[in-house]
Amino acid sequence: MSQSVHALIYVSRSNSNVRDGSAREIIRSILAQSRSKNARLGVTGALLFSEGYFCQTLEGEPAAVEDIFSAIECDPRHRDVTLLTFRPAPARRFPDWSMAYAGVSAGPDWSRKIEGLLADPSEIDGDRMGRELLVLMTDLVRQQDLDGP
């Protein structure tokens, strides 16, 4: 019997000053921790950090994804954690990555969009925004794969 795969997408603000070196260290720390924990729990996904905002997708068994998201909500590196979508997925978008890194900048248009979302969460169309972010992160990860390390 196959296990169901669910995909969760959220956005949050960073609690660090993105203009100093601490942001880079925080990203490294998040990636190291998430890659280890996700691999252990069978979760895959991608992380994007853009101008002080995190966007992340997690894919895996619902209980494992919920466990990781609960930890993120309590993580002092994040604030204003906003769930966009959590639903069954037909397939994993990042099957080869315990946590792909989509990069440090999605551009100012995306940052303004995320800022607007977090300013008024009641206006969020999580499904639409989640789909758009998923496409963006997939494209960014693919581009980094092509560009190499």
Residue 36, domain member (yes or no): yes
79/144: higher pLDDT: 79
Domain region containing 89: 6-147
Residue 1, domain member (yes or no): no
**Which tens digits make up the pLDDT trace of 108-142?**
666 666 666 555 555 555 566 667 776 776 766 66
DSSP conformational letter for 93: S
- Percent of the chain's residues with pLDDT above 70: 65
Task: Report the CATH number at residue 17.
Answer: 3.30.70.100
* Counted domains in the chain: 1
State the CB neighbour count (10 A cutoff) for residue 74.
Answer: 8
Provide the whole-model pTM: 0.76
Which residue in this structure is represented by tokens 């990042």?
Answer: 94
State how far the alpha carbon of 139 is from the alpha carbons of 44, 67, 78, 127, in Å: 16, 27, 24, 18
Residue 108, domain member (yes or no): yes
**Which tens digits make up the pLDDT trace of 6-63?**
999 888 888 876 655 677 788 888 899 999 999 999 999 988 887 778 888 999 999 9
